[in-house]
Chains A and B, each alone.
Chain A
């Protein structure tokens, strides 16, 4: 019984951690992309189409 309760607590803790990791990832996903990364892609495309 005690073992089952401990397992249930651990499972809840694991779920909470998963939730926090998802929140953290979503927060990072929502950050605006730096211009230099998009500029680099445009430059690569332009360079390729010129050659």
Chain B
């Protein structure tokens, strides 16, 4: 009897240690995902902490040998949506918002392409953003992302496609604006030069 109890306790401790190690392993990816979705690092770290607590509490519901990373990502995503719903901060990108977004991105003073992509992706609807990040960067396949988000594979493919197209449009608008600003600057310089050249003639006249 006591042997059985001891064995059980040992198994429990081992499982606990394994679970902790597994969580430690996925922490960087969870944090990167949270940072990609949240507006700042503090909000992201709070979300990761909440995810860890929820995962720990729900560890008995984790099906062994199933995709642990996907399981934790689903917990994080559900926590994020739940928090945003509570605080009514979740906004969908409709046409009007899209126009405002494009203008906001046009006005952003970032020069690096990385910063531009990073900035632009923040203005996509959350569903498209998470699908793009999970597929393009997170190393998940469509099936896994469908499981994480609880929607059909076709929906994920559509979100990735629309998200990518929106990003391209936003980036093109940004590039166009940059060229326009540069052209306007050059035109202004020409006008200034012409003005400078004309002045002595006027004075002389």
Contact = CB atoms under 8 A, between A and B. Distances in A.
A24 B45 contact: no
B117 A25 contact: no
Chain A interface SS verdict (over half):
helix
A33 B167 contact: no
Interface in A25-51: 25-26, 28-29, 31, 33-34, 36-38, 40-41, 44-45, 48-49
B164 interface: yes
Bin chain B's interface residue count.
35 or more
B23 interface: yes
Interface in B96-130: 113-114, 117-118, 121
A16 B45 CA distance: 29
B41 to A, nearest CB: 9
Contact of B49 (A10, A14, A40): A40
Interface residues of A, number: 27
A16 to B, nearest CB: 8
Given A17-B167, A17-B168, A24 B52 contact: no
B27 interface: yes
A8 to B, nearest CB: 13
